[in-house]
Structure 1
Amino acid sequence: MIQQALRFTRILSHVVVFILLTVFTQVGGIIYLLSRRTHPLIMRKVSQPVLQPLAKLGIFLLIYVVSTLAVIPLLAKPFGKVPLPLFRTSHLQPLRLATCLMNRHYVRPALKQAVLEIADKMGRQHPETTVNYLDGGFPFFNSYPMLPHLSHNDGKKLDLAFLYLDKTSGAPSDNAPSIIGYGVCEEPRPGELNTAARCREQGYKCYDALRQIVPQQHKQHYVFDSMRMKELMSTITAHAEIHKVYIEPHLRTRLGLDSDKIRFHGCGAVRHDDHIHIQL
């Protein structure tokens, strides 16, 4: 009976790992199954039981990283997806490398070219500026959900981090206060429209959920850079390939933005006073 319970627990744990990897990285679950094919060899070659789990984990990570860097970009091309640069290119980079390691940085070629041109223009105007991207899409298939996003499922959407100043030095920062790029918000000032409060009052509890979860302790070290943010938003909306932009209404008003490409995303989404959403 105990053996059956242990066997069931092991199977359940593998299922849970497979599901989590598939949900958050799309390909991690398949790679996990492939790496398990090496377990009999590991059991034979690694005699010390305490080292066997480490060897299994090491093999999985090795296969995963090699696949992410070398194999998946090639396989994604027939699906019309290309990866955004892993490291700083034309003033564009991922805010967190984990975005790339989780294969959440795939977009359509037209969107990649557009965001590179936007970042390059910002870099020419402000050489110290780096445009940090957040979630784009997964490498394979359209309509495959990318949680927690509602629409990042076709390679046509990309999130960008806000631009900040270092509070101590006043210099432009290439970082952001959130450890994941989301959830640390530029709150509405007195007299500005508080969309988050309105959405909560209408029963949309998820609208503000990330702010309640993400640690806020780094916010005190950053200042929202209104000047560069206005220029970035103007550069984005002026680009011919970008047809829709989401940002919180109070920031649109504060920055004096009047482009008809800028829309309200609705209370069914999440707050957009922590990032910019752009799409083809």
Structure 2
Amino acid sequence: MIQKSLGIARIVTHVIVFIILTMLTQLGGVIYLISRRTHPLIMQKVTRPVLQPLVKIAAFLLIYLFSMLLIIPLLAKPFGRVPLPIFRKDGLQPLRLSTCLLNRHYVRPDMRHAALDIAMKMNRFHPGTVVNYLDGGFPFFNSFPMLPHLSHNDGKKLDLAFLYIDKASGSPSDNAPSVIGYGVCETPRPGEINTAESCREQGYRWYNMLQQIAPQGNKERYVFDSLRMRALMTVIIYHPAIHKIFIEPHLQTRLQLESDKIRFHGCYAVRHDDHIHIQL
């Protein structure tokens, strides 16, 4: 009876791990199942029981990294997806490497070209500026959900991080305050439109969800760079490939931006005063 219960517990554990990895990375669950094929060999070759779990984890990580770097980009092409650069290219890079490790940096070829073009044009206005991207999409299939996003499911959407000044040095920074890329917000000043408060009063409590999750400890080290942000938004607005932009209304007003491309994303989404959403 005990052995049967343990067997059921193992199966449930594997199912949970598979689901979590699939939700986070799309292919992590499949790679987890593939890595389990190495377990009999590991059990045979690694005689010390205390080391066996560590070797199993190492096997999974090696297979995962190999797949992420070499296999998935090739398989994604027939689905119309290409990866954004993992390392800095033409002024474009991921804000956090975890975006790439989780396979959330795949977009349509037109979006990749647009993102690189936007970064290069920004460097003409403000040399040395790094445009940091956040979540794009998964490598395979339309309509596959990428939480917590509502629409990042077709390779046509990409989030970009805000630009900041390092408060200590007073110099433009190529970093951002959020450790996850989201949730550290440039909140409304007195007299500005407070969409977050309005949405909360209407019962949309998840509108502020990421702000409640993300650590806020780095916020005081950075200052919102209005000058470069206005330049970045102008480049995005005038880029012919970009047809829709989401940013919080109070920042649109503060940066004096006028464009039919800028839309309000609705209270059913999450707030956009921590990043820019662009889409083809």
Q: TM-score, normalised by structure 1?
A: 0.99
The within-5 A match list for 1:184-223 is: 184-223=184-223
User: Alignment RMSD, CA only?
Assistant: 0.5
Structure 2: distance between partners of 1:77 and 1:213: 34
CA positional deviation for 1:162: 0.2
Deviation at 1:154, TM superposition (A): 0.1
Q: 1:50 aligns to what SS in structure 2? A: coil
**CA distance, structure 2, for counterparts of residue 5 and residue 218 of structure 1:** 46
Q: Which amino acid aligns with 1:36?
A: R
Contact residue 96 and residue 134 of structure 1 kept, 8 A: yes
Deviation per residue, 1:139-194 (Å, 9 max, x gap): 00001110000000000000000000000111010100000110000000000000
Displacement, 1:23? 0.5
2:276: which partner in 1? 276
| Counterparts of residues 194-273 of structure 1 (less than 5 Å) | 194-273=194-273
Q: CA deviation at 1:128?
A: 2.1
Q: How does 1:43-62 map to 2 (within 5 A)?
A: 43-62=43-62
Equivalent residue letter for 2:39: H
Structure 1: state its 5+ residue gaps. Answer: none
Offset from partner CA, 1:222-242 (integer Å, 9 cap, x none)? 000000000000000100000
Which residues of structure 2 form unaligned runs of 5+? none
Report the Cα offset of residue 97 of structure 1: 0.3
Match of 1:21 in 2: 21
Q: State the Cα deviation string for residues 35-90 of structure 1 (Å, max 9, x = none).
A: 00010010101111111001100000000000000000000000000000000000
Which 4+ runs in 1 deviate beyond 2 A? none
- Map of 1:149 onto structure 2: 149
1:165 aligns with 2:165: yes
Equivalent residue number for residue 117 of structure 2: 117
Letter in 1 for 2:209: A
Distance 2:124 2:52 in 1: 52
* Contact residue 187 and residue 273 of structure 2 kept, 8 A: yes
Question: What is residue 95 of structure 1 aligned with on the other side?
Answer: 95
SS of 1:49 mapped into structure 2:
coil
| Distance across 2 between alignment mates of 1:179 and 1:260 | 32
Supply the AA of the counterpart residue of 1:97.
Answer: L
Identity %: 72
- Displacement of 1:6 in angstroms is 1.4
Once the two structures are TM-superposed, the CA of residue 124 in structure 1 deviates from its matched residue by 2.1
Q: In the aligned structure 2, how far is the partner of 1:57 from the partner of 1:213?
A: 28
Q: Is structure 2 residue 86 aligned with structure 1 residue 86? A: yes
Q: Give the length in aligned residue pairs.
A: 280
Q: How much has 1:133 moved relative to structure 2?
A: 0.2
